[in-house]
Structure 1
Amino acid sequence: MRRWNNRRNSRWNNRWNNRWKRTLTTVALAAAVVTGTAGWAAGNGQRPVTGPPPGSEAWRADTSLGRALPDPAHATPREVAAFFRTLTGAQQRGLAHRHPTVVGNLDGAPVALRYEANATALRRDARFAHLAGHGRRILAFDPRGRGQVAEVYGDLERSRHVAVVVPGSDIDAGTYDRPTDPYGTPAGMARQLRAAAKDTAVIAWAGYTTPVGVGLDAATGDLAEAGAARLTRLTDGLAAVDAPAPAVFCHSYGSVVCGLAAPRLKAGDLVVLGSPGMRAGTVAELDTTARVWAAKDPSDWISKVPNVQLLGLGHGTDPADPAFGARRVPAADAHGHTGYFAPGTQSLRTFAAIARGEAR
C-alpha cells in the first residue's frame, strides 16, 4: 500500500510540476509581450474616449423644434434615423449648423448631413482644420483626446458594397493618413481597397482610442473593449440608413477590437490581418454570423508575439492558425506588418473580392 501511495504521489507531483511549468512559461511569454521582448516596443498608457460626443449638453437643451432631440447617450441609431426622417431639410441643416459635433458623430443621422456637420466642426478646429478640404467625406470627427476621425472613400449612399478598415496601434486623427506609410494607415488601406474594388465605399475608421506603441495597452483588452462598443454602433448606424452590411477589415490590434465586437457586429465578412489574436480560441467562439478570414505574411513581425492569454495579458490563438477555423487569405507576397494592401499583392486582390462579395 505504501509503495502504491508513493507511486500515486509521484504521478500527482509530476502532473503538478508540468502544469506549473506550463503556467510559468505562459506568464513569461505574456510578460514578454508587455516588456518589449519578442519584438514589441514600449508604449504609453491611454485613457479611452467614451460617452456621447462633445456638445451633447447644448444639444439636449435645444428646444427650437418644440420637442426633445434624441439623447446621444441613449438613443439607438435606428431611433436617430427615425427622428431625422420627421424633419424638413431646413430643420436638419439648422441642427447641423448649431450642433456640428453632435450631428457629425450621430450614427443614424443622414450621411450627407454628417459630412456637412463635420466640415463645419473641422473648420472651427485649429488642430485638424486641414481635414475640411474640398470634397472630403468625413463621416465622424471627435476632437477629444488625440482626436478620432472616419473618412469615406466612394459613395456611401449609393454603393452596392461597403467596407470598413479598423486600424491598430498609433492611429488617431493626426496619424490616420501618413504619406510616408501609404499602406499602413487606415486612410492608405481604404484608398487601395477602393481602387481595387471600385464599386465599394470604404470607410477609414480611426474611431477609437488606439494604443501608443505596443506596450501594456496593446497587450490587454481595455482599449479594445471601448473600441468594440464604438465599432458596433458604427455598423448599427450603417444599417439604420440602409447601407449594405460591410466587410470589416481589422489590422493588428484592430483585430482585437473586432474580435470583441464580433457577436454584435452587423457585418457580412470579418477579415483580420497581422493579428495578435482576437480573444477567442476558434471562429465558433466569436459567435458571429459573418464569414471570418485571416491573413498573415511570412515576414510579419507579429508572428513573434506569443499567442497566449493569461491574467488579462495577450490575445489568444493566432487567427491565421488553421486550428482557429478562419478562411485563409493568401499573403505570401505581402511584406512586413503593413504590406497587406500594397498594389499587386494576392492579399489586396482577395480583400477586393471579399468586399465585393465575390470571394468564396
Structure 2
Amino acid sequence: MSRFTRTLAAVALAVTAATGTVGWASGSSQRAVTGPPPGSAAWRADGVLGRELPDPAHATPEHVHSFFEGLTASERQALLERHPLVVGNLDGAPLELRYRANAHALRASPEPRYARLAGPGRQILAFDPRGRGQVAEVFGDLRSALHVSVVVPGSDIDAGTFDRRGDVYGTPAGMAKSLHTATGPRHAVVAWAGYTTPVGLGLDAASGGLAEAGAVRLTRFTAGLAADELPPPVVFCHSYGSVVCGLAASGLGAKDLVVLGSPGMRADDVAGLRTGARVWAAKDATDWIDDVPHVRVAGLGHGADPADEEFGARRVPAEDARGHTGYFAPGTDSLRAFAAIAEGASR
C-alpha cells in the first residue's frame, strides 16, 4: 500500500470512528476492570492466620506462590472459605486451590448466567464477577502437562459469552476445547477471558485502551503460571486479543505467539514486539478483518498486518478456515498447524 493510500485509509478510519458512521456506532464504551480481585480490602484486614497476608495489589505471583507454599492445608482452606474471590483470582496461588475457590464463588453467585460455569468437572482458574464478568478455564491436566497453551479472545467476550452455544469456535472455551482435542494427552489449554473486551465495532475496538489494561492482566496471569513452575506457554491470540498480546508480548514469557484474524498488534514488525517467542500469523481469505485498514493515526487503528510478509511472522496455513471465527474448526489446516505449534512439533 502506498503512503498516499495509507494516509487516506487512516483518515477514513479516524473519521469513521469519531463520527460513529458505517457501523462504528454499534459499539458501546466499556470501562476496563483493573486492579486487585474483589474482596481484597477484607483480605488485607484479615488476621485469621496471625500474620500479614500478601497484598493482592502489589505482591508478585512469585511472592504469592511462596506464601502459600508455607501454609498448612487447613490454613489454605480457611483462606479459601473466607475469601474465595481473592484466592480464586490470585495469580501465583496453587492451581487446585484456585479451582476450589472459584467453584465455591460460582455456587454462591446469585447470577443465573454463571450456573453453567459451576458445573461438575469444570476447572475454573479465574472468576471475576465485576463488570460483564471475566473467566479462565483449564482443559486438560495443567499440573502434569508437558505443553501449555493459552487462548486470548477478542471482542464481545465475557462471562456470559465465554462458552455460548452459537458460533462455538469464536468463543474462548470453544477454541480451547478444539485445540485440546487436537493435541495429545500431555497438553493443557487455558481459555483466558481475563480482560474487559470491546463490545461491537465502537471506539473501544479501534483504540488500544482496553488492550493496554488487558495486557497488564495477561502478563500477570502468565507470570503466575511461571511461578507455579509450569512450562512456558504457547499463546494464541484471536482478533482484538492479538492487540492485547502485542502490547504484552515482551513480558509473557511465551515460547510461541500465534495471532489469527488480527487487526494489528500495535507494532510495525516482529522486532517491535520485543519478544524472544517465535511469532506466527494466520488469516484466511474470507475473514472480514482484511477489510480493516492496518494503520494507526491519532490513537486509532492497530498498525501493520501480522499476516503480511513484511511483518516477519511465520505464516500459518488457513485455506480451510472460513470467516473470522473458523480458525479452530475441526478438520481445518489452521487447527492442525496450531496443534503442531502447541506441541512443539514445528520447531
TM-score by length of 2: 0.95
1:27 Cα offset (Å): 1.3
Q: Secondary structure at the match of 1:69?
A: coil
Measured against aligned partners, the alpha-carbon deviations of 1:227-247 in whole angstroms (never above 9, x if no partner) come to 000000010000000011110
Contact map agreement 2:24 2:203 (CA 8 A) in 1: no
Match of 1:64 among 48, 52, 56: 48
Contact map agreement 2:122 2:137 (CA 8 A) in 1: yes
Q: CA RMSD in A?
A: 1.6
Percent identity of equivalent pairs: 70
Q: Secondary structure at the match of 2:168?
A: coil
Partner Cα distance (2:78, 2:278) in 1: 41
Partner residue, 2:226: 239
Measured against aligned partners, the alpha-carbon deviations of 1:286-321 in whole angstroms (never above 9, x if no partner) come to 000111000000000000000010110000000000
**Does the C-alpha gap of structure 1 residues 114 and 277 become closer, same or farther in structure 2, counting only changes over 3 Å?**
same
Partner residue, 2:156: 170
1:30 Cα offset (Å): 3.5
Partner Cα distance (2:309, 2:168) in 1: 30
Q: Secondary structure at the match of 1:183?
A: helix
Partner Cα distance (1:26, 1:225) in 2: 21
Partner residue, 2:314: 327
Partner residue, 2:123: 137
Instruction: Output aligned runs, 1:1-360, within 5 Å.
Output: 23=7, 25-32=9-16, 35=20, 37=22, 42-127=26-111, 128-198=114-184, 199-360=186-347
Q: Specify the code of the residue in structure 1 equivalent to 2:268.
A: G
Partner Cα distance (2:257, 2:181) in 1: 20
Partner Cα distance (2:216, 2:90) in 1: 14
Higher Rg of the two aligned structures: 1
1:130 Cα offset (Å): 2.9
Q: Specify the code of the residue in structure 1 equivalent to 2:215.
A: A
Q: Specify the code of the residue in structure 2 equivalent to 1:131.
A: L
Partner Cα distance (2:7, 2:333) in 1: 39
**Does the C-alpha gap of structure 1 residues 40 and 352 become closer, same or farther in structure 2, counting only changes over 3 Å?**
farther
Partner Cα distance (1:125, 1:33) in 2: 37
Contact map agreement 2:13 2:300 (CA 8 A) in 1: no
Partner Cα distance (2:74, 2:313) in 1: 48
1:209 Cα offset (Å): 0.2
- Once structures 1 and 2 are overlaid, which stretch shifts more, 180-189 or 220-229? 180-189
Partner Cα distance (2:337, 2:25) in 1: 31
Contact map agreement 1:192 1:343 (CA 8 A) in 2: yes
Q: Specify the code of the residue in structure 2 equivalent to 1:111.
A: L
Partner Cα distance (2:310, 2:76) in 1: 51
Runs of 4+ in 1 over 4 A off after TM superposition: 18-25
Contact map agreement 1:33 1:314 (CA 8 A) in 2: no
Measured against aligned partners, the alpha-carbon deviations of 1:38-76 in whole angstroms (never above 9, x if no partner) come to x76720000000011111111001111111000000000
Partner Cα distance (2:98, 2:85) in 1: 9
Measured against aligned partners, the alpha-carbon deviations of 1:9-41 in whole angstroms (never above 9, x if no partner) come to xxxxxxxxx98996455212343466454x767
Q: Secondary structure at the match of 1:174?
A: coil
**Does the C-alpha gap of structure 1 residues 20 and 342 become closer, same or farther in structure 2, counting only changes over 3 Å?**
closer
Contact map agreement 2:261 2:289 (CA 8 A) in 1: yes
Partner residue, 1:13: none
Structure 1: which 5+ residue stretches go unaligned?
1-17
